[in-house]
A and B are shown apart, each in its own frame.
Chain A
Amino acid sequence: MPASIEPIIGRYVNLDIRGQKHRLYVEEAGHGQPLLCLHTGGSDTRQYRHLMCDERLTSTYRVIAFDLPYHGKSLPPDGWHTHTYQLSVDDYCTFIISVIEALELGKPILFGCSIGGRIILHLAISHPDYFYAFIGAACAAQQTPWYDTEWLQRPDLDCGEVCAGIVSGLMAPQSPEVRRWETLWPYMQSGPGVFKGDIYFYREANNLASEIKRINTDTTPLYLMSGGYDFSCTPDDMKRTADAIAGAKLVSMPSLGHFPMTENPELFLGYLHNILDDLKLQRR
């Protein structure tokens, strides 16, 4: 078989955020309206390789993803060894807005899943003017914890195996086996305590139930995507969130789980294209 080269291009962006230097890895493919994609906690931009190789998507959209500090090819900042990594709401918002400004993306469509979806709710409340539209997957305003996060970082366990083992059941059993295992690999590679530090963000601000009522979907449309097999952020959790936000559109994906874009990219892309088509009609 002849070699093939994918259209994905990777670069590094150097940012100075509150006196702390960060070197973030950014990938992109395609041309057109910017679609910025946020990875899940404990994973990285590789989750968007299927989107970035979808010609239908990249012919109309510039698909961009970046690794948060500590994730993928973004190193932790200097001095990381002196404290425990805990992702905060403020830092997460700042990373996203800084990347948008550094890459001069204008007002991108923002897609995010899991923690990347949850931050969308925060941004829709606090910084809606930076965005053309929001698409959040697995991102309910409130969820019920279902395991003890202390298992995620212990010196006596292979924490990559534990993290992967914990999230493995969040995918639909119908999703292709190879894609489910592909989804687990970045979790197995993740640095010690990184997934746990991301989950801290989830649980630090776990109740946005009243604040989300302030989201104005007239100025910035909001789509919510819910996986039927996601027992962490359940379809009921997502419905409660959608019901609380006037104008939010809920898309149910019964045969997908918590990692729709990686566990079954083909199926997920169908839903995503429908949303993007709907958005075009809405904004015409």
Chain B
Amino acid sequence: MKRSTTTQRAEAIPDKAQAHPYLAVRGRYVNCDFMLEIGATAYLVCIRDGHITQFRSGPHLMPQWSFALRGNEAAWHQFWSAEPPPDYHDLFAMIKKNVLTLEGDLKIFMTNLLYFKLLLALPRATGMEQ
């Protein structure tokens, strides 16, 4: 399947996370696997001690994850634009707008909310959320 601009942006997350000066420190107690869905593309993201150890697209056979974030491509495209419009600038804003769902065991997500918000905003074209 041809990779869209949006999934290409998503796939930049591991490199951008590694280059971030403080993200892994903020997330040093984060150890979990979560599912990130960009439309039809699902990524299993594995975090160990705040570092991404796997960022793997499907198909996934019997995947295990703590929580899943599922949004359509258009929503993530807006979220990762240089100046995201209202309702597409924050994960909770998109959940309230019904263009993103969050499900599963939310404790690890809520415990490290700022970490996950920073991590998932990394593809944004500017350094806005750095």
A-B complex is real: yes
Interface readout for B116-127 with A: 1 if CB under 8 Å, 0 if not?
010000001000
Residues of A with C-beta under 8 A to B89: 169, 172-173, 229
Q: Which of B10-18, B67-75, B92-100 contacts A (4 or more CB under 8 A)?
A: B92-100
Query: Are A157 and B114 in contact, CB atoms less than 8 angstroms apart?
Result: no
Residues of B with C-beta under 8 A to A108: none
User: Given A151-B110, A165-B113, A165-B114 in contact, is the A173-B95 Cβ separation under 8 Å?
Assistant: no
Instruction: Answer yes or no: B91 CB below 8 A from chain A CBs.
Output: yes
Residues of B with C-beta under 8 A to A144: 96
Query: Are A161 and B114 in contact, CB atoms less than 8 angstroms apart?
Result: yes
User: Given A169-B117, A228-B86 in contact, is the A158-B111 Cβ separation under 8 Å?
Assistant: yes
Instruction: Answer yes or no: A243 CB below 8 A from chain B CBs.
Output: no
Instruction: Answer yes or no: B49 CB below 8 A from chain A CBs.
Output: no
**Chain B count of residues within 8 A CB distance of the other chain:** 23
Interface size class of A (residues with CB under 8 A): 20 to 34
Residues of B with C-beta under 8 A to A220: none
User: Given A158-B111, A169-B89 in contact, is the A146-B84 Cβ separation under 8 Å?
Assistant: no
Partner of A231, one of B86, B110, B111: B86
Residues of B with C-beta under 8 A to A170: 90
Instruction: Answer yes or no: B105 CB below 8 A from chain A CBs.
Output: no
Closest to B127 in A: A177
Interface residues, chain B, with chain A CB atoms under 8 Å away: 83-84, 86-87, 89-93, 95-97, 107, 110-114, 117, 124, 128-130
21 residue pairs A–B, Cβ–Cβ below 8 Å: A146-B92, A147-B92, A157-B107, A157-B110, A158-B111, A161-B112, A162-B111, A165-B110, A165-B113, A165-B117, A169-B89, A169-B92, A169-B93, A169-B117, A173-B83, A173-B89, A173-B124, A173-B129, A174-B128, A177-B128, A231-B93
